[in-house]
Structure 1
Amino acid sequence: MILRILEEKIKSRLFKGKAVLVLGPRQSGKSTLVSTILQGQEYLSLNGDEAAVREALSNTSVAELERIIGRHKLVLIDEAQRIPDIGLTLKLITDQLKNVQVIATGSSAFELSARVNEPLTGRKYEYKLYPLSYGEMVGYHGYLKEKQLLETRLIYGYYPEIVTHPGEEKELLKLLAESYLYKDLLSLEQIQKPALLEKLLRALALQIGSEVSYHELAQLTGANKQTVEKYIDLLEKAFVIIVLPAYSGNIRNEIKKGKKIYFLDCGIRNAVIRNFQPLSARTDTGALWENFVIVERIKFLYQSGIDAKQYFWRTTQQQEIDLIEEHEAGVLHAFECKWSAASKARFPSTFTDQYHPISKQVITPENVKDFLM
C-alpha cells in the first residue's frame, strides 16, 4: 500500500475535541486514507451521496444524532458537502457528543468549506488530500524507479487509480476527467453553461505555463470577463486548477496583475486536450514539466507544513522567472524549470539586483528529488 504523508498527522488529531475535515478532489484517495487510519477500529460510516443519509443528517437534533450514532465513538461522513447544513450538524456532534470523533470528507472545497467554516470556527482540523505526490511515490518504490517513471507522470499524472493500473491509463483518465470535472462542478448553481466550462477548460489546458488574460479567454470562449473569472475561481476551489499570481514590488515595468494557471494533475490536463502522446512527439514538454514541478512543490510545502507564498515573475520586456517563493520575513527564492539539464536558464539581473533572492536554482529531472522531498 502507498503510504500517504497525511496519515500520521490526521491520526495525531483524533479525539482532541475537534472535527477532522479531509478535503480533496474525487478519487484522490480520501476514503482509502480514512479507512486506513480507522483500520481495526469500530466506526460508523455514512455517505452523503445517499439520500437517506442526507435527510437524516440535515436539520437534525442532538437526540436524533444520538440515535443515529448509537454507541459508536468514531463516525466517518463521506461526501459531506452533499448534506444541507452539514456544518451545524458537525458542530452539534463536536459540542454535544464529547466522546464522539467525527471525520468528514468532501470533494469540493467550495461547497464544504462554505458550509462548515462559520459553524465550526475553532472546532475543526482541516486537511487537503491531493492526488499522490512525487515524495509519496519515492517512499513507495524508491527514487530510481520514480525517476524512470517521470515521463509517465507528465503524461498520465498521479491519481491513485491511474498509478495503480498501468496499461489502463488512457481509458481511466477519460472516465475520471469526465466524472470529476463535471459531476461536482455542474452540480453547482453557479455553473449555468456546461459548454462554456468545457471550452474554458480546453483553453486553459492549452495555455499552461503561459500568462493568461481573462479578457482574451472571454473572447475565445464567447463569454464575458466576469463569467470567466467566476468559473476559474470555481475550478480552483474544486481542485481542478491552481492559479499562480504575478510577483511585483518596485520595478516599474513588472506585470502586476498577471496570472498563470496550472492543472492540479498533468493527466487530467492531457485528458482535457485528448493528448497522451509520448514526450518525443509533443511540443508542450517544457510546459508539462513546469506544471509538474510547480504543483508537486505545492504538495511538498503543504505536506511539510512550510508556509510560503508562490508567484511567477515577468516584465513587459518578456523577462521572466517560472517560480518565486516568498518565505518568512520576505525571504525570496527563485526557480526555473527545465526538462533538459543541458538547457540554459538565466535569472534576469533586473530581478536579482532589485530583490536579492537568497537562492537561484534550475530544476531538472536530475535534481528534482531535492526540490520535492
Structure 2
Amino acid sequence: MIKDIFDLQNPWRTRPDYPFPYKPRRLLSVLLDNLDNDKMIGIVGSRQVGKSSLLFLLIKYLLHERLIPAANIFYFSLDDLKLHELFHHLPDLLRFMGQSNQRRYLFLDEAQRLATPGLFLKQLYDLRLNLKVFFTGSSQLELKSKTREHLVGRARMFELQRLSFSEYLQFNEPILPQEALHELLIYGTYPEVALERDPTQKKLLLKDIYQSYVEKDITDFLKLENISAFNDLVKLVAVQSGRLLNRDNLAKTLRLSRALVDKYLQVLESTFIIKRIYPFHKNYKKEITRMPKVYFMDLGLRNFVLNNFNPVGLRTDTGVLFENFYLMELLAEDPYQLKKINFWRTTNQTEIDFIVQGENEFSAIEVKWKATGRPRSFQTIRKYYPDIQTRLVTPEDFLR
C-alpha cells in the first residue's frame, strides 16, 4: 500500500516525460542557491500558496538540469496519513529508500502532519547522510510547536508569499499591468485564484480557502471551540487593515478576554493570515510595547471576510488596499527576512507608512493611491533622521 501511494506521488519515476505543469516562482532561485549546502531547507506559508508546486519545480530542476536519477529523489505528501507509518521510526524510512552512495533528495510536504517532525528531522540530519532534505509546513505555529529547538543550526527557513506583482503578471500573460493591479487588489494573489479568470469562481475559491483554513488549522489542530468569536475577530481585524490595532477595543467589542484576543491574533499571524508591524523607535523596548498596525496577507481573503468585492472605482478603501499590497511586495523582496519593516508616527499624528532598515538601507516609504505632491511627512522625518532616504510609491510605479 505504501509503495503504491509513493508511486502515485512520484510520477516522474515511471514517466520520464512528466510535464511538471507549474509556473515558476521568485523563491525558486533562492532555494537553488541553497541546494548544495548542508542545511535542511524548510518552506512555510499559507495553505494554497504554492509550496507543493515549488517542491515540484525543485524536482524538475534536479531531473532536467542536474540530471539527477529519478531513483534518487523521494517525495512524500504527508497529508496522506498512511505514509506516516514510514516516519514512526527512522530506520523504516531508510530501509524504504534503500542504500546508495550517491547524493539523494528527500521532500517532505506538510511535515507538521507528523507527530514529532522536529525530532525526526534532527535524527535524520545528525546521521550526516549524503541527503538533502526539504520540508514544508502550512502552519508556522504548528510546525514550531513540533520542532522547537530541534532544527536550530540544522535548517534554513523560508516563507513563501502569495504571488508578487511580477509573478501575477507572469501567471496571467498577456494581462495589462493596470488590469492586473486592479484585479489583485480585489481578489488577492493566491496562485489558483490568480489563474482563474471568472470572478464568480474566484470568489468561490477564496471561500474554499478560508473554510479549509478554519477547519484544518483552527478546528483540527488548535482545537479552538468558539469559532464564531474567532470569525468575528477576523472581520474586525479586516476592517482595521492598515490601521492601528487596539487589542483592548477588540476585547471590549467582542466581549472576550484580552488574553483570548491576544491568542487569536497570534494564531492569525502564525498561520499567515495577518501581519503586524510595529512603530519605529530607536528604543526597541518602546517599539514592541506600542500599538502595532495590522495588515492582511491576502487582499482577496480580506475582501471575502468583509463580503466586499466591489471594483476599485467603487470603493472607499482603495488607498488601504494599495498600502497593504505594497507591504506584501516588500516582504516578497526579502526572502532571507533580513530587513526590518516598521511604521513611523509622531505624537501630532505625522505618519510614514513604512520604515525599511537593511544592509545599506534606511528608507521612509509613503504609499499613495492618488498622489497630489511630495508628502510633508518626509520633511518632518528628515529633521529627526537626516540620513534617511525617502520614497513615494504610487500605482505608476507598477504600470510602467
TM-score normalized by the length of structure 1: 0.89
Match of 1:28 among 15, 33, 49: 49
Q: Residue by residue, what CA displacement relative to the aligned partner does 1:53-80 show, whole Å, maximum 9, x if unpaired?
A: 234313x14x222123235832221111
Structure 1 residues 131 and 12, CA, compared in 2 at 3 Å: closer, same or farther?
A: same
Which position in structure 2 is the counterpart of 1:69? Answer: 97
Which position in structure 2 is the counterpart of 1:14? Answer: 35
List aligned pairs for 1:1-373, cutoff 5 A.
1-39=22-60, 40=63, 41-42=70-71, 43-58=73-88, 60-61=89-90, 63-71=91-99, 73-96=104-127, 98-138=129-169, 145-167=176-198, 168-189=201-222, 191-249=224-282, 257-300=290-333, 302-303=334-335, 305=336, 307-328=338-359, 332-342=362-372, 345-347=375-377, 349-368=379-398
Q: Residue by residue, what CA displacement relative to the aligned partner does 1:26-49 show, whole Å, maximum 9, x if unpaired?
A: 111111111111123342222222
Is the CA contact 1:245–1:257 (under 8 Å) kept in the aligned structure 2? yes
SS of 1:209's partner is: coil
SS of 2:150's partner is: coil
Structure 1 residues 101 and 308, CA, compared in 2 at 3 Å: closer, same or farther?
A: closer
Structure 1 residues 306 and 109, CA, compared in 2 at 3 Å: closer, same or farther?
A: closer
Q: CA deviation at 1:186?
A: 2.5
Whichever residue aligns with residue 152 of structure 2, its letter is T
Q: CA deviation at 1:272?
A: 1.0
CA distance in 2, matches of 1:307, 1:341: 30
Runs of 4+ in 1 over 4 A off after TM superposition: 138-144, 253-256
Q: CA deviation at 1:17?
A: 3.0
SS of 1:197's partner is: helix
Q: CA deviation at 1:326?
A: 2.2
Q: Residue by residue, what CA displacement relative to the aligned partner does 1:308-364 show, whole Å, maximum 9, x if unpaired?
A: 2111122332221111112347x5311111112446633164432112252222210
SS of 2:212's partner is: helix
Structure 1 residues 236 and 336, CA, compared in 2 at 3 Å: closer, same or farther?
A: same
Q: CA deviation at 1:14?
A: 3.0
SS of 2:107's partner is: strand
Structure 1 residues 319 and 254, CA, compared in 2 at 3 Å: closer, same or farther?
A: farther
For structure 2, list consecutive stretches of 5 or more residues without a partner in the other structure: 1-21, 64-69
Q: CA deviation at 1:280?
A: 1.6
TM-score normalized by the length of structure 2: 0.83
Q: Residue by residue, what CA displacement relative to the aligned partner does 1:92-148 show, whole Å, maximum 9, x if unpaired?
A: 222226123222111011111332341222221221111111132345667982333
CA distance in 2, matches of 1:236, 1:353: 34
CA distance in 2, matches of 1:354, 1:97: 52
Calculate the aligned-residue CA RMSD, in Å: 2.6
Is the CA contact 1:17–1:94 (under 8 Å) kept in the aligned structure 2? no
Is the CA contact 1:254–1:315 (under 8 Å) kept in the aligned structure 2? no
CA distance in 2, matches of 1:176, 1:320: 34
SS of 2:275's partner is: strand
Q: CA deviation at 1:90?
A: 1.2
SS of 2:151's partner is: coil
Which has the larger displacement, 29-38 or 111-120? Answer: 111-120
Q: CA deviation at 1:20?
A: 1.7
For structure 1, list consecutive stretches of 5 or more residues without a partner in the other structure: none
Aligned length: 363
Q: CA deviation at 1:155?
A: 0.3
CA distance in 2, matches of 1:170, 1:27: 15
Which has the larger displacement, 196-205 or 347-356? Answer: 347-356
